[in-house]
Amino acid sequence: MNVTNPGPREIYVVLSALPYLPNEIGQLRRAFAPAEFIEAFPFDDDAIAAALNRADVALLTSDIDDRHLSAPNLRWVHCDKAGLDRSARHAIFERGLIVTGSAGRSAPALAQHGFYLALALTFDARHLFERQAARQWGGIPGYEQRLALHGKTLGIVGFGHTGHEMAALGKAFGMRVIAYRRRSGPLPPTVDWMLSLEEGESLNPLLEKSDVIMFAVTLNDATHHLFGEEQFERMKGSAYLVNLARGAVVDHEALARALDEGQIAGAGLDVTDPEPLPAESPLWNLPNVVITPHMTPKLPERTQRSIDIIIENAGRYRRGESMVNALTLDDLYTKG
């Protein structure tokens, strides 16, 4: 989402605590020139503290913390990560701090990860690997009744960068695509049916019609435990849930019950609540769950995509234009 600044601004001192290569840092130096550009290692607390006494812009790998909130001149912080739920607190809005992130830099990889999980569930990869390790050919009861993704319905909850990429892959797999987004907007060619919170539309049609539901929604107070017992009851018994968003979007106790009781067919989880997933969680042992540890292979150009976002926002900040990937009060997260 974009946020409008109050007007054009100068940039005087920039703190960069990004672990980039010299040529990558060089791009940022040129973009912020003639501002003073201070480099610090991400964990060099003394150097960062000294720079924060003067900086009006900070480029970080982490979320914001009290050091940034108390920095006297700081006006804009860029956190080089996608999810900013840990930064989306009252204090940043009360202070008037602009906080932006790098959402979209990994969207194609995340969408592919979503389909890795969906395919692992569809093809029962867990049991196939067990048979391979045992050097056993076949032997999975009911496998001949399984249906491929082609012709099924994909439901996407959250339609930002990753949601767009999921929809494109869904179409490539020959699926019907239903999406649910916060704001209304034009229907893209990759989506057959778009639902919108802004239009007062319910998630229920997506829940009831989808064979695979993928989460690409941001975590905030409105999406915390967005999926719980009521939502699982509305899903098809043959449906799969795939979460690439944040673990707290799903009530994990309700999810474990739905999976254990066969209310839904399976789940692919790259994120959990909490993280790491505790060893005693029943999700580990359920045969219809595939878990990856919040870890997706990088795009070759991921860092450059982050740099492009920062450079774009540097220009927008100076011109007083809307900022890309900026937090708003809609993103407030106080329930975590």
Q: Point out the residues that are catalytic.
A: 246, 275, 294
Contacts of 224 (CB under 8 A, 6+ apart): 248, 249, 333, 335, 336
Strands (E), the chain: 13-16, 36-39, 57-60, 76-79, 98-101, 153-157, 176-181, 193-196, 212-215, 240-243, 266-269, 289-291
Token pair, residue 115, equals 């389909």
Instruction: Collapse the DSSP code of 289 into the 3-class scheme (helix H, G, I; strand E, B; otherwise coil) and give the result.
Output: strand
Distance CA 133, CA 140 (A): 14
What lies within 8 Å, CB to CB, of 130 at 6+ separation is none
R_g over Cα of the chain: 22
Give exposure, 215-232, as e/b (b: 16+ Cβ within 10 Å).
Answer: bbbbbbeebbebbeeebb
Residues 188-196: contacts with CB under 8 Å, at least 24 apart: 188/164, 190/164, 191/159, 191/167, 194/159
Grouping H, G, I as helix, E, B as strand and the rest as coil, residue 91 is: helix
CA distance 210 to 25: 44
Rounded CA separation 71/53 (Å): 6
Which residues lie across from 25 on neighbouring strands?
A: none
